Amino acid sequence: MKKNKSSKNWIINQHRDEYFKQSRSLGYRSRAAFKLLELNKKFNFLKKNSKVLDLGAAPGGWSQVASNYCTKGKVMSVDLKQMTELKNVKFLMMDFRVNESKKAIENFFGDKISIILSDMAANTTGNKDLDCIRTNELCMEALKFSLNVLDNNGVIISKLFNGQDFEVVKKFALSNFKKVRFFKPKSSKDHSKETYIHCCGLKTL
């Protein structure tokens, strides 16, 4: 009974959420689309010719935004979960960390990538501290991956939680990127510890 009540409350809260309502009316697949719109308004990184890789993309809200901006570029979405096809977006159902995935990404873009997006979050366990650690590990994985595929002036945007391992991720980013900034969109829920890290320009030897 408790589980059913909790699920019902979640549905009610979603429908009361203004960003959820807007996402439905504008045709976005998730309210998360507004987070990327805010991030782009803040940092102005999505360009017409950008080559964009969206990690953990399902259900596709961020990929929708990216494809709307990058009309002359390329957009690839990668996720372990199935995602309904989007116009002008290549979908790869695979773990981005495996070699087969890396080869497919390289073949699709044919060159270095302009932008990597990651709104990945670990599956919740009920233990908030553990969930925070696991999500920040995904952020670190995305940052490490980006070092080999981004062009020298490339950008990576990734979800990050304020909590354990935050400083570890921040230190790694500062060691490898020329500019590192943090921003929490208004469309993030008030009680959420999430923020987003924006890294720009690879440091080269």
Which residue type is seen at 115? I
3-class SS string, 124-174: CCCCHHHHHHHHHHHHHHHHHHHHHHEEEEEEEEEEEECCCCHHHHHHHHH
**Cα separation of 113 and 145, whole Å?**
11
Q: Among 47, 89, 91, which Cα is nearest to 72's?
A: 47
Structure tokens at 67: 């494809």
Catalytic center residues: 159
Strands of the 113-118 sheet, one edge to the other:
90-93, 74-79, 51-55, 113-118, 150-161, 194-202, 177-183
Helix (H) or strand (E) holding 92: strand 90-93
Backbone angles phi, psi at 156, to 5 degrees: -130, 135
83 in Cβ contact with 58 (< 8 Å): yes
